[in-house]
Amino acid sequence: MASPAPLLTLADALAHGERLLAADATLAAEQARAILAAAPSQPQALALLGRALMRCGDSDGAIAALTAATTANPGDAGSWQRLAELHTAAEDEAAAAEAQAQALRAAARDPQLIAAANALVANDLPVAERLLKARLRDQPADVPAIRMLAELAGRIGRFGDAEKLLRRAVELAPQFDAARHNLAVVLQRQGKAEAALAETDILLARDPDSPGYQILRAAILVRLGEYEAAIALYDHMLARHPHQPRAQMSHGHALKTVGRQGDAVAAYRRALADAPTLGEAWWSLANLKTVRFTADDIAAMQAALAQPGLGDEDRLHLDFALGKALEDQGQHDVSFEHYAKGNALRRTQLDYDPDETSANVDRVKALYTPDFLATRAGWGCAAPDPIFIVGLPRSGSTLIEQILSSHSQVEGTSELPDIIALARRLGERPQGAEGGGGQRARFAERLAGLDAEALAALGQEYLDRTRVQRKTGRPLFIDKMPNNFVHTGFIHLILPNARIIDARRHPLGCCFSGFKQHFARGQAFSYDLGEIGRYWADYAELMDHFDRVLPGRVHRVHYEAMVATPETEIRKLLAYCGLAFEPACLDFHRTERAVRTASSEQVRQPLYASAVDHWQHYAKWLQPLRAALGKRLDTYPYV
């Protein structure tokens, strides 16, 4: 076996260290330390030590060595890039962004690219775009500039453009792993999980011990529904890099999804042991709905909230978690105070216009008229596979999914983004087009112009896109994306034989339950009582419209009726889906399957009625919600 060599010349010693690194990272680290004993700030030796420690699984030591290397040589793009990877693995987004920016600066030797990188760091996107496009006009194969432009596109949500740019970057420079990593992330964000996984195969073949690549791959596996593989990867990575609080938290999410609640709690607790102010970990425990916090837990959360310099993300998650903890203790006044603070802070981060939601409902109603629908009757893809469950979050949709998934002919998947993605693509402006009105106006115009063949192709594309989520071979599957209610007409046109179920719950119970829930993404309407009430009223108005223009097309399940007379409602539900009654649907809580939503632990218990009127503990604070609901509150059939 090779061993550290005596120091002859610095060049010889460094070359020997590189040879050792290819064979034995531990010996390479010893060689780097031997060099540093004689030359304490030698940048190449520091970089060698950092790379060796990365391969040894010592993330903290690698960060320290690479930080020293970049301090000694700020132009070392490779060390900056490895620092960015390590900070990404530790989910320290600010440090990762800064290291990535420094890597870009180091790779860009001329003033134009340095200026563009500085503009990206400062989030001055118009300046960055102007500089990068000018650069690429002169040098279209400049890979760092291509990658920077892709980053810019991703920041403004143009993920398709970002993908094209990054594919060009890795085509020009196949060994440019930073660009390939970016490509995998962009593919994942577009729902192209299988393609993203393939990119991680390449990355991990080159650097199998990279915690950043392993974490990304595990997240993609979760998206694909490959939970056991994701959990195994988290187990492997965290055994070598245990002090990764955000990775521990993601591990907990995967464990929760497959029903390993005790292991999930342990993972969240490990995250908090390393990062006591990590608000999302506290909220993850609260979001299990079945964990009861101790007095010590509550004191720890209160102490975390009192920490100076606490970030907004940690603060709002802590407020939501404390709201739940104190609610469980019956302290509803102080519980509501925390819920209100968490919601108010989250609302400041969101660009949501309730008037636009109401206007969109009017546009949808104007589009799907009886004549429009009758002209297209029988068009679309005839496959009966999907069962869509729509409505608002916290309306009992996960309960319906669990009941149906207990049937031998039905597979539960998740809240799939594919209908929304297809509708969004239909409304996108063609490349190079100028002006032309809003996306929703374009959607209506283009949908009206599609013939039977085009609608059938869209339905088939939906089935193709979602096939990766189907693991059991059962003929029917569930798409539980609640926001699909706005696309009821679109679903009917492209998949006329799909079932559509409207999950509905008393508006005060549904809306206040949503207000108490911090959603990982989306649902921007839910962080203000008045806005969530308006949203519920708009949703109900739109579903009334579809009841009028497509009578009998949508089956409505009221949560209160399901709780009161479950067998009756379950038989109606199965009949609508064309399914024979099976007793397992009554024992849905015994069905073992992955459940990804906030109700994952609740649907693993028998039906209980206590949640129906739980909002009444907070009735005195709900006047803004009542006012926004208006007549809808008075006409709801279950009180």
The CATH number covering residue 42 comes to 1.25.40.10
C-alpha 309: how far from chain center: 26
Q: What is the pLDDT of residues 35-48, one digit of tens each?
A: 999 898 899 999 99
- Residue 621 is assigned to a structural domain of this protein: yes
Q: What is the pLDDT of residues 587-601, one digit of tens each?
A: 887 776 455 444 444
CA-to-CA dists, residue 622 to 62, 68, 109, 625, 626, angstroms = 52, 56, 59, 5, 6
**The predicted structure's pLDDT at residue 437:** 42
CA-to-CA dists, residue 632 to 22, 76, 293, 401, 593, angstroms = 69, 63, 36, 26, 36
- Residue 171 is assigned to a structural domain of this protein: no
- Residue 259 is assigned to a structural domain of this protein: no
Of the candidates 611, 609, 585, 584, the residue with the CA atom closest to the CA atom of residue 598: 611
Tokens 């979001």 belong to 287
Dist. CA 292–CA 287, nearest whole Å: 11
Of the candidates 578, 381, 579, the residue with the CA atom closest to the CA atom of residue 464: 381
State the pTM of this model: 0.76
- Residue 265 is assigned to a structural domain of this protein: no
**The predicted structure's pLDDT at residue 601:** 47
> Helices 211-223 and 77-89: crossing angle, nearest 10°?
50
* Regions of the chain short of the pLDDT cut 50: 1, 5-7, 430-437, 593, 596-604
Domain boundary among 107, 123, 141: 107
Residue type at position 428:
E
- Residue 131 is assigned to a structural domain of this protein: no
- Residue 618 is assigned to a structural domain of this protein: yes
Spell out a b/e string for 340-376, using b for 16 or more CB atoms within 10 Å of the CB, else e.
Answer: bbbbebbeeeeeeebeebeeebebbbebbeeebbeeb
Contact by Cβ (8 Å): 477, 579: no
Domain boundary among 88, 107, 126: 107
- Residue 192 is assigned to a structural domain of this protein: no
- CB burial of residue 8 (10 Å; 0-12, 13-18, 19+): exposed
Return the CATH number at 499.
3.40.50.300
**The predicted structure's pLDDT at residue 564:** 92
Overall number of domains in the chain: 2
The residue range of the domain holding 29 is 1-107
- Residue 420 is assigned to a structural domain of this protein: yes
Both tokens of 104, joined, read 């870009």
Contact by Cβ (8 Å): 416, 389: no
C-alpha 41: how far from chain center: 42
Contact by Cβ (8 Å): 307, 340: no
**The predicted structure's pLDDT at residue 574:** 98
Both tokens of 303, joined, read 């102490």
Tokens 């398709």 belong to 160
Domain boundary among 78, 107, 136: 107
CA-to-CA dists, residue 59 to 30, 69, 84, 209, 238, angstroms = 16, 15, 12, 11, 11
